[in-house]
Structure 1
Amino acid sequence: MAILGNIIKGVIHAKNLTATHFNAVNEQRTVLLELLSNAAHTEFGKHYNFEEIIASVDPEKDFRQKVPYFDYHQLTETWWHKVHEGKPDITWPGKPDYFALSSGTTGNTSKRIPVTDAMVKAIRNAGIQQVFALRNFDLPANFFEKEILMLGSSTDLDEHNSALEGEISGISASNIPFWFQDYYKPGKEIARIDNWDERVQRIAEKAPDWDVGALSGIPSWMELMLQKVIDYHGLNHIHEIWPNLQVYTSGGVAFGPYEKSFNALLGHPITIIDTYLASEGFIAFQQRPETDAMKLVMDNGIYFEFVPFRPDYINSDGSLAQAAPSLTISEVEMGQDYVLIISTVSGAWRYLIGDTIEFTNIEKAEIKITGRTKFFLNTVGSQLSVNKLNDAVQHLEEKFDIQIPEYTLCANRIENNFYHCWYLGTDRKIDEMELSNALDQFLKDANKNYRVARSKALEGVKVKTISTNIFHDWNAHNKKKGGQVKMERVMGEDKFEAWEDFVKTQMDR
């Protein structure tokens, strides 16, 4: 009998009985006032007169009128460069304990995002909220006695100006509370290994010693790790070595494109739970099984604003036009894409995180990520979000019975005509013209703006299929294997030219 598991499950369910009624509007106002109060005497708070905003009748309105939007580069040029130099009390009291390094999907140069002790605590608190939400998934008691394999970046952090720096998953793993250490795998020693291939090799070697019940990490790298364990031990699927694996907590990117290839590594279906942990904070998590939408964490150190996603609100460099209106959680509507803006306990203020979201349930503050502001494909008016592109790829998987875990594309000019040029990662040989036609037809049926563009300036679709490994090699070549690194779904023409040169080099080998 799973005695400990029953105790833990009982505590989780008891928490549900004592939970107060959720009121996102009140929670968000409280968070905003706490943020403003804590930062009132920083250089930033004095510059924008936070004390006056706190005292106003409508602090939300006053805040958005007085404080401009910032993206990473704008905030760094004006304020965070002082934080990087080790100066205190710039955008948050004191100095940050960590810097989260993030190249994400946007380039080779790492961003250095401040991570304060308050943010570390907020991330931990959000994680605890997610654990309590497991009561909704009807998991057996013995699940709560199994180990959790968290596949992130190395916890071997570097020191810079008396702060430690690394990717956010490594920072989070290095701050795992003592009571969780016995559950956490791969453990401190392996987690410190910086080399991705060496770390995964050690995981494969130790795999038989662990009773893994849950996995957590970015889907692309999780698949590679599972495949390594399977190959190393000559297995048919991962459940032959981890029979009690029941949950996968996905994050970083939409799970949809990976669903088919991920499930192929399993012996039976498991529960998939989506999370939204960015370098800037723990933003949302899936709290119930009847939807794959995620609940925004509204009471935990992040204040949210939502800008309607319209092309005229986005500058050519991907930043926000200062005239773009922002809405609070009380003002949003269903069926609308919004640019997500956050202010946090790490001293990010009205910060463009780069994602677009859509509300699926406003009362429960549940959202889906619909794309990236820089990856929105609007050349010649096609207006395709990453969410729409993911749907198209999943359609191809179903229609042709193939797996396409990775893809990228570009609106490319060829002989004065625009084409959407796709690269699909698959190990099956499928006629590329058939894929092009099916992809084109699906997008015409699913998106009226695309259909109009195809009748005018958009000439057509070109598809090339390549090995999925080339996508992984591209990430390793440009950034680093593992951790928070994700593949660009939509590229600009210059980046796409470099990508095509890289693909040619790989295929000529």
Structure 2
Amino acid sequence: MAILGSIIKTAIDLRGALVSEKSPIESQNEVLTNLLEKAKDTAFGKYYGFSKILEADDIEKEFKQKVPYFDYHQMEAEWWNKTQEGLEDISWPGNPTYFARSSGTTGKTSKRIPVTDDMVEAIRTTGIKQVGALANFDVPSDFFEKEIMMLGSSTNLEAQNQFLEGEISGISASNIPFWFRGFYKPGEEIALMEDWDEKVETIAKRAREWDIGALSGIPSWMELMLKKVIEYHDANTIHDIWPNLQVYTSGGVAFQPYEKSFNQLLAHPITIIDTYLASEGFLAFQNRPDTTSMKLVTDNGIYFEFVPFKPEYINEDGSLSQDAPSLSLAEVEKDVDYVLIISTVSGAWRYLIGDTVAFTDVEKAEIKITGRTKFFLNVVGSQLSVNKMEVALREMEEKFDIEIPEFTLAAVKIDDAFHHHWYLGTETEVNNEELAKALDEALKDANKNYAVARSKALKGVKVSVVDPTVFHEWSGKNKKKGGQVKMEKVMDEEKFADWEAFVKEFNGK
């Protein structure tokens, strides 16, 4: 047994035994109070009367009544633009050190989200909590002596006036503790590379130099990197290159859609741990092995609210209606889709992050990501969430014995009637018409609103199968490869027309 690994594992096990956590609800009450107390003298805090809110008998209720919902565009236009101009104490004390650039999944231009020193510390602390949670998983002592491949954005942050800018994965990697740097791969030199293809090519060339025990990154880009390494070394699986690979920390999106194709790259199963690191903060991570759900980080600088995900509460642009009710952690129910709202130590207040979640265990505050508010397809009343789409596609994988890691769709008019046109990314040949019929039936069974729509205004389903590479190249064309970039699952007709033109060009038609 490796001595160093045994020491580290024992320390983690001991920490888990000694650290007793407060209840998530109690922790959330304290977090909100601390946020309001710290920000009460900022311009935002004075405008919305944080000092008065703190005097209320029910601080949560008063906070909801006094402070409206904000999406990114509202927060940026009314408050964060002043921070970007160099003014201090706007929505959080002082000035942030960083701005996280995030193109998200649908934006044509990058968002610039403040990342304060308090948030950097919160992300680091949650990272330590996640490492501590490994005590709950069956990993051997020698795992803790292996290296970790963290595939993210460039750590070469750009100076913009008094701030440094980059994607959150790059900001996080640039703040790695000194004691961890010997374990961190691909190392600072490669991590600085801006060009994703060059970065992956370099990783592939040097792969045999490293003893990788764990991977960390967004599934779609991680899968592409692993394929490149395998191809470069003419190997059968990634375990031929990294035999001690035992853990993959997924992030950014749910891992389940990629599970089948990802497992094809392995010689044997590895431990998958889901995480939820967004530009706005480290929100949740998988805390135990007997679930694929993630535990909300309820005691570390982020206050959560939950709005029932119903069409009447969502505006056409994906923002929230101001009369939409929000629930605290004490009020939520299991298996209900909620729009996630956060207030943070980076000065985001009642902020629509854009994701929808559902609780799998309310007492443990465990959630799964179910979709995006903008990826809610409700043309002619179909009310399709990404979660419903993903469930149906997993059925298609089983029924046709294929892998579908990527997809997108739109409601389009064909002969003056609405149809759902799906593009499915798979390397397996399959009959499009048979797939369309099966997918349609699966969605009818899973969603009564969809079934009603199909009997009325939604006249048909069309499926086009394409190589998964098309989705990655589309991301490269419109934003850039790697990092936090995710494929948009639902497009409007204008974007979908651009997509179809790109697919034809890619296929040489």
TM-score (norm 1): 0.99
Letter in 2 for 1:30: E
Q: Identify the range of structure 1 (382-391 vs 146-155) with the bigger mean alpha-carbon deviation.
A: 382-391
Counterpart check, 1:404 vs 2:404: yes
Counterpart for residue 435 of structure 2? 435
SS at structure 2 position matched to 1:508: coil
Counterpart for residue 345 of structure 1? 345
Counterpart for residue 166 of structure 1? 166
- Trace 1:311-350 onto structure 2 (pairs within 5 A): 311-350=311-350
Letter in 2 for 1:215: L
Counterpart for residue 257 of structure 1? 257
Deviations 1:221-265 (A, max 9, x none): 001100111111110110001000001011111211111111111
Q: Distance in 2 between matches of 1:71 and 1:44?
A: 15
Q: Distance in 2 between matches of 1:228 and 1:324?
A: 47
Deviations 1:325-358 (A, max 9, x none): 1111001111211110000000000000001111
Letter in 2 for 1:462: K
Q: Distance in 2 between matches of 1:384 and 1:14?
A: 46
SS at structure 2 position matched to 1:368: strand
1:160 CA drift (Å): 0.8
- Trace 1:236-255 onto structure 2 (pairs within 5 A): 236-255=236-255
1:506 CA drift (Å): 1.3
Q: Distance in 1 between matches of 2:32 and 2:173?
A: 28
Q: Distance in 2 between matches of 1:426 and 1:364?
A: 36
- Trace 1:160-309 onto structure 2 (pairs within 5 A): 160-309=160-309
The number of equivalent residue pairs is 509
Q: Distance in 2 between matches of 1:104 and 1:391?
A: 23
Q: Distance in 1 between matches of 2:215 and 2:22?
A: 29
SS at structure 2 position matched to 1:277: strand
Counterpart for residue 391 of structure 2? 391
Letter in 1 for 2:255: F
Counterpart for residue 37 of structure 2? 37
1:471 CA drift (Å): 0.7
1:86 CA drift (Å): 1.6
Letter in 2 for 1:505: E
Counterpart for residue 425 of structure 2? 425
Counterpart for residue 145 of structure 1? 145
SS at structure 2 position matched to 1:289: coil
Q: Distance in 1 between matches of 2:107 and 2:434?
A: 33
Counterpart for residue 482 of structure 2? 482
Counterpart check, 1:470 vs 2:474: no
Deviations 1:465-502 (A, max 9, x none): 11111111100000001111110111111111111111
Deviations 1:272-312 (A, max 9, x none): 11110000000000101111010000000000001111111
Deviations 1:350-400 (A, max 9, x none): 000001111110100000111110101111221111111111111111111
Q: Distance in 1 between matches of 2:14 and 2:460?
A: 57
Deviations 1:150-184 (A, max 9, x none): 00000000001211000000000000001101111
1:8 CA drift (Å): 0.8
Q: Identify the range of structure 1 (22-31 vs 344-353) with the bigger mean alpha-carbon deviation.
A: 22-31
Deviations 1:84-117 (A, max 9, x none): 1121110001111000000010122000000001
Counterpart for residue 414 of structure 2? 414
1:21 CA drift (Å): 4.2
Counterpart check, 1:66 vs 2:66: yes
Counterpart for residue 356 of structure 1? 356
Q: Identify the range of structure 1 (466-475 vs 150-159) with the bigger mean alpha-carbon deviation.
A: 466-475
Letter in 1 for 2:147: E
* C-alpha distance 121-21 of structure 1, shift in aligned 2 (>3 A): closer
Counterpart for residue 86 of structure 1? 86
- RMSD of aligned C-alpha atoms? 0.9
Give the share of equivalent positions with the same residue, in percent: 67
Q: Distance in 2 between matches of 1:267 and 1:58?
A: 55
Counterpart for residue 110 of structure 2? 110
Q: Distance in 2 between matches of 1:432 and 1:22?
A: 52
Q: Distance in 2 between matches of 1:275 and 1:449?
A: 31
Q: Distance in 1 between matches of 2:38 and 2:320?
A: 26
Deviations 1:423-470 (A, max 9, x none): 011122211001101111111112211111111111111000111111
Gaps of 5+ in 2: none
Counterpart for residue 49 of structure 1? 49
Q: Distance in 2 between matches of 1:226 and 1:206?
A: 13
Deviations 1:10-68 (A, max 9, x none): 11111121122440111001111111111111100110111111111111011010000
Q: Distance in 1 between matches of 2:326 and 2:227?
A: 44
Letter in 2 for 1:329: L
Q: Distance in 2 between matches of 1:317 and 1:21?
A: 39
Q: Distance in 2 between matches of 1:506 and 1:232?
A: 24
1:405 CA drift (Å): 1.2
Counterpart check, 1:99 vs 2:99: yes
Letter in 1 for 2:190: I
Letter in 2 for 1:417: A
Letter in 1 for 2:24: A
Deviation above 2 Å: which 4+ runs of structure 1? none
Q: Distance in 1 between matches of 2:109 and 2:68?
A: 25
Q: Distance in 1 between matches of 2:238 and 2:223?
A: 11
Q: Distance in 2 between matches of 1:134 and 1:411?
A: 43
SS at structure 1 position matched to 2:231: helix
Letter in 1 for 2:342: I
Letter in 1 for 2:370: T
Q: Distance in 2 between matches of 1:74 and 1:418?
A: 33
1:508 CA drift (Å): 2.0
SS at structure 2 position matched to 1:253: coil
Q: Distance in 1 between matches of 2:290 and 2:449?
A: 31
Letter in 2 for 1:234: D
